[in-house]
Structure 1
Amino acid sequence: MESRPQWLDWAVELQALAQAGLEYGHDKFDLERYARIREISAEIMAQHTGLPLEEVKDLFCGESGYQTPKLDTRAAVFQGEKILLVQESDGLWALPGGWSDVDITVGENAVKEVKEEAGLDVTVRRVIALQDQHRRNRPMSPYGVCKVLVLCDRTGGSFQPNLETLDSRYFSLDELPPLATGKTTEEQIRLCFEAHHAEHWTTLLD
């Protein structure tokens, strides 16, 4: 994967500095300056991603407090030499997962997402990797994301129609379908296979 572009680092840093300033600043003129810096960061992001400016502002500038990455949990569930993928509403496929909810743990979130998107009951075995999504996935998101890849074991269940996914199937590494690369890449799936086959595994950290 190509390295993270410099403009993205600048935009993210400007947004983080502006958000902290708006949270902790007191002078009304400084607050105006921080708000403008935040707008500039959104304009940079919109210019380079092609997203509408107002959408970027909603995603990129809608929080308060100290800026931290969002957590995206992705579960790797195997059946023999095949890995579970779910089909998104756009027809593309990804590891089951999504944003981590604030009221449950990362592990609990992985279990919940597999149940909601694939209908399966799973238990968590190990964390495969903690990855910077901007370094690993395209298209890039307008905010920082830490992707948590979690190896899980199936204990039961079956796919049920739901509001989030169209289908779920197991795929071998040499027959992967078109992927939703913003959520899951072939490189990440290969990493999951490596962790699945390893007797001992050390969590990888970007």
Structure 2
Amino acid sequence: MGDSLDPKPWTRLLDSRPDWTRTVAARRALAGLLVILAAMAALRPDPADGRVDVVVAAHDLAPGASLTDSDLHRESHSVTTVPDGSTASTDDLVGLTLTGPARRGEVITDVRVLSPRLTAATAGPDSRVVALDLADAALLDLLRAGDVVDVLAAEPAPPGSDSVAPPRVVAAAAVVVMVTQRSASPTSGDHRVVLVALPSRTAVEVAGASLTQAVTLTLR
């Protein structure tokens, strides 16, 4: 109560200033604030900067699907979230085979489709993909892209002989690239194969063995 009735000297001095001095001070303060806001707006990045278009799955996709225009569309993503091997053009992916399932909105990269880049990334630059018709087709339900397996082959038993030659390892550390899916048509049968990536020389040996010998896999 005493302070309000007996103001301090500097309080009385400020209150005694002309109105125009206070108006000028307020205008200067406002002008300074506007300058600061303008500088902040100039330094703020454009929302369009740092974003790129990438091709994503337009809907859920099954492995083995041959990609079409309707399976793909472009979306704008932040540069920091875009994986290597992505593309901005659907033409780069149309007609290629998807090696694994993809969810709607997932970016489709070069290692998600059958291509030389997938083979190189899986088994090295000098590598090939071999399709194997397994003697034990039940194994196909256990395999997934990326599994590391050994390829075994066994000579068929001679006619009239009950002895069976023991299987031998024809390739070690093959990488599963894709397992073909069951056909939706009941008349087309259920013939499925597994695709594995191997160094070129080993791939040739495995392909040759699969022509005359029963082939199976062991999982690591």
Global fold match (TM > 0.5): no
Higher helix share: 1
Larger Rg: 2
TM-score of the superposed pair, with normalisation by structure 1 = 0.22
TM-score of the superposed pair, with normalisation by structure 2 = 0.21
| Highest RCO, 1 vs 2 (Cα 8 Å, sep ≥ 6) | 1
